[in-house]
């Protein structure tokens, strides 16, 4: 494993982080009996950064992760979130944030968390996030209930704007720095680096698209992106390559990112992510993958309040025959 400084926090995190949303059964059902082996394999591989949220399975992922981390509590950096309580339920008020962290600490069975993050701020009123949510997080930090505070979300430009105005320690962006996109690097990274804010990248597989399994109903990616992802998966497999290793490798090339979070549902997936550390891709294969992704590179989909969207980046319309392929 390799480790990097998480901004100015003084914490050192593994470049591959454990995303715990699968423990909330958000992609598919993950057997609870496997939790100890899964978390144990990650810790053995040197992974020390774990990310969860009350939103993942309505508290289930926190409960399961908290339980499985009991033997390793002193050795790991644990991050959770607040503000997002359901697919369409958000509460970024000071009262809601404080109650949410209290409930998370109970589920995680700890007195304090290393990092508390306002979850998916693009769904909130940004003035409220800056002037109410962040001050509430700072108060929790002062009370010793969280060591550091951060924000998470989908739009790199929005996150860049908010970190310029709010005193956070970390910023997490997802689906904007992997084989499908480099917008986080172009838009958010320079601002975060300048301010010494820890950068966390999430969803190296574009929320499972490059895992090749059937996607859950809630997955927001437009058909053209799914088609390109399916093409990459079948091309890699026919070449004897693992698309998950390639996509994690692509993320690890960005040295400004402290950690890339991948959602793990099995010990094999932990092994696959870690294989990316020593991976050297075949140049021709990489070229073909980049060509397959090129038509949808940097495509985003609507997410959050329209007024919070980064301008001009919604998915292009599909031709009729492409829609048929995407649905198949
Ligand atoms: P991801 O791109 O990491 O994909 C996860 C999916 O891919 C899961 O279904 C997983 O089982 C599967 N997978 C993982 N490794 C695989 C492999 N080797 N082969 C085949 N399939 C594999 O997407 P994600 O889970 O959304 O993102 C990772 C983590 O980042 C989350 O668990 C969460 O902790 C964090 N995250 C945070 C936010 C936010 O705060 N707004 C948003 C997205 C993700």
What is the pLDDT tens value at each position of the chain, 328 positions in all? 999 999 999 999 999 999 999 999 999 999 999 999 999 999 999 999 999 999 999 999 999 999 999 999 999 999 999 999 999 999 999 999 999 999 999 999 999 999 999 999 999 999 999 999 999 999 999 999 999 999 999 999 999 999 999 999 999 999 999 999 999 999 999 999 999 999 999 999 999 999 999 999 999 999 999 999 999 999 999 999 999 999 999 999 999 999 999 999 999 999 999 999 999 999 999 999 999 999 999 999 999 999 999 854 545 444 545 444 443 3
Residue with tokens 């968390």: 113
Residue with tokens 């294969």: 285
Q: What is the pLDDT of residue 313?
A: 52
**In testing the pocket of ligand 1, which one of 168, 203, 267 has its CB within 8 Å of the most ligand atoms?**
203
Nearest-CA residue for atom 34 of ligand 1: 19
Tokens matching residue 39: 């978390």
Nearest-CA residue for atom 20 of ligand 1: 211
Q: Where does residue 67 rank: exposed (0-12), middle (13-18), buried (19+ CB within 10 A)?
A: middle
Instruction: Give me ligand 1 centre to Cα 248, in Å.
Output: 11
Q: What is the pTM of this model?
A: 0.94
Q: What is the pLDDT of residue 324?
A: 45
Residues with a known catalytic role: 56
In tens, the pLDDT along 288-313 reads 999 999 999 999 999 999 999 985 45
Q: What is the pLDDT of residue 325?
A: 46
The CA distance from 183 to 299, in Å, is 10
Q: What is the pLDDT of residue 65?
A: 98
Task: Looking at the CA of residue 263, tell me the nearest atom of ligand 1.
Answer: 25
Closest CA to 211 of 14, 19, 2: 19
Instruction: Give me ligand 1 centre to Cα 265, in Å.
Output: 9
The terminus-to-terminus CA distance of the chain in angstroms comes to 39
Task: Looking at the CA of residue 202, tell me the nearest atom of ligand 1.
Answer: 30
Pocket of ligand 1 (CB under 6 A): 19-22, 27, 51, 81, 119-120, 152-153, 172, 174, 202-208, 211, 244, 261-265, 269, 272
Where are the extended beta strands (E) located within 52-169? 77-82, 84-86, 89-90, 113-118, 146-153
Instruction: Give me ligand 1 centre to Cα 209, in Å.
Output: 10
Q: What is the pLDDT of residue 234?
A: 96
Give Cα separations from 68 to 33, 181, 217, 293 (angstroms).
Answer: 10, 33, 28, 37
Instruction: Give me ligand 1 centre to Cα 116, in Å.
Output: 19
Instruction: Give me ligand 1 centre to Cα 18, in Å.
Output: 9
Nearest-CA residue for atom 30 of ligand 1: 202
């Amino acid at each position: 494993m390799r480790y990097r400084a998480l901004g100015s926090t003084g914490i050192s995190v593994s470049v591959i982080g454990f995303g715990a949303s699968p423990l909330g059964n958000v992609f598919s059902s993950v057997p609870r009996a496997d939790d100890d082996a899964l978390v144990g394999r990650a810790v053995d591989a040197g992974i020390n950064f774990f990310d969860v949220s009350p939103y993942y399975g309505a508290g289930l992922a926190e409960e399961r992760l908290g339980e499985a981390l009991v033997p390793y509590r002193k050795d790991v950096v644990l991050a959770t979130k607040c503000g997002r309580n359901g697919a369409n339920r958000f509460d970024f008020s000071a009262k809601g944030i404080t109650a949410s962290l209290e409930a998370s600490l109970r589920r995680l069975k700890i007195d304090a968390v290393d990092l508390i993050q306002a979850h998916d701020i693009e769904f909130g009123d940004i003035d409220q996030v800056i002037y109410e949510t962040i001050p509430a997080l700072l108060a929790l930090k002062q009370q010793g209930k969280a060591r550091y505070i951060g924000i998470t979300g989908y739009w790199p430009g929005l996150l860049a704007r908010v970190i310029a105005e709010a005193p956070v320690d970390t910023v997490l962006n997802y689906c904007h720095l992997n084989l499908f996109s480099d917008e986080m690097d172009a838009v958010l990274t320079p601002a975060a680096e300048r301010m010494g804010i820890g950068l966390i990248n999430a969803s190296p597989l574009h929320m499972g698209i490059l895992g090749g399994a059937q996607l859950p109903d809630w997955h927001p990616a437009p058909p053209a992106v799914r088609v390109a992802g399916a093409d990459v998966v079948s091309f890699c497999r026919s070449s004897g390559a693992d698309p998950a290793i390639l996509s994690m490798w692509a993320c690890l090339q960005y040295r400004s990112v402290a950690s890339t979070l991948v959602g793990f549902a099995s010990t094999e997936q932990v092994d696959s992510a870690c294989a990316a550390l020593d991976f050297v891709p075949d140049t021709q294969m990489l070229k073909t993958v980049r060509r397959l992704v090129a038509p949808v590179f940097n495509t985003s989909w609507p997410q959050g309040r329209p007024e919070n969207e980064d301008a001009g980046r919604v998915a292009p319309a599909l031709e009729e025959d492409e829609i048929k392929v995407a649905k198949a």
